[in-house]
């Protein structure tokens, strides 16, 4: 499902808008980077909480997707971001991981850090849902 995850990611117009890139992907883990530009800022020029949440959601979603049976689709059920400090950085990295994978629901967590993955800006907990392909049911 890793190639399928990459293809699906490419189809998200919003990820292009953010300039987000998958920089690592393996079963149960996806890492996404995003570079600061004025179009992504909050009122003080830092990364907007919405950008942070968006790439962390997608990192979790595709981390979950890589653990699903072929032909599945992934849906975010709920996402929760803790915003610990202003994301003052030129680049942020969201690392999404599967914590518990069930048949229907996949519990994931993401960390959002600076490029060196040293400063933690935010964490996200997300519940993802596996939608079975209709042609297969």
Residue 33 found at the interface with a second copy (CB under 8 A): no
DSSP class of residue 133?
P
Give the three-class secondary structure for 17: helix
Residue 85 found at the interface with a second copy (CB under 8 A): yes
CB of 1 to a second copy, least distance (A): 14
> Residues 8, 65: contact at Cβ < 8 Å?
yes
User: x/- contact string, 2-31, with a second copy (CB under 8 A)?
Assistant: ------xx-xxxx-xxx-------------
Residue 83 found at the interface with a second copy (CB under 8 A): yes
Residue 92 found at the interface with a second copy (CB under 8 A): no
CB of 24 to a second copy, least distance (A): 20
Tokens of 72: 């599945």
Residue 133 found at the interface with a second copy (CB under 8 A): no
DSSP class of residue 41?
B
Q: For residue 59, with 0-12 CB atoms within 10 Å meaning exposed, 13-18 middle and 19 or more buried, which class applies?
A: buried
User: x/- contact string, 45-64, with a second copy (CB under 8 A)?
Assistant: ---xxxx-xxx-xx------
Q: How many CB atoms lie within 10 A of CB 75?
A: 12
Residue 132 found at the interface with a second copy (CB under 8 A): no
Instruction: List, as one string, the DSSP characters of 80-120.
Output: EEEE-S---SSEEEEEEEEEEE-SSEEEEEEEEEETTS-SE
- Chain residues in the site for a second copy (CB under 8 A): 8-9, 11-14, 16-18, 37-44, 48-51, 53-55, 57-58, 75-86, 99-100, 102, 104-105, 107, 109, 120, 123, 125, 127, 129
């Amino acid at each position: 499902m890793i190639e399928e995850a990459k293809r699906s990611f490419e189809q998200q117009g919003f990820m292009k808008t953010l300039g987000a890139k998958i920089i690592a992907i393996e079963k149960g883990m996806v890492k996404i980077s995003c570079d600061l530009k004025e179009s992504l800022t909050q009122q003080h020029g830092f990364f907007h909480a919405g950008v942070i949440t968006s790439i962390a959601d997608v990192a979790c979603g595709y981390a979950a997707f890589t653990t699903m049976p072929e032909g599945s689709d992934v849906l975010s059920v709920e996402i929760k971001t803790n915003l610990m400090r202003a994301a003052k950085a030129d680049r942020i990295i969201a690392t999404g991981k599967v914590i518990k994978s069930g048949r229907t629901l996949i519990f994931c967590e993401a960390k959002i850090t600076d490029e060196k993955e040293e400063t933690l800006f935010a964490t996200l907990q997300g519940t993802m849902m596996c939608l079975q392909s209709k042609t297969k049911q």
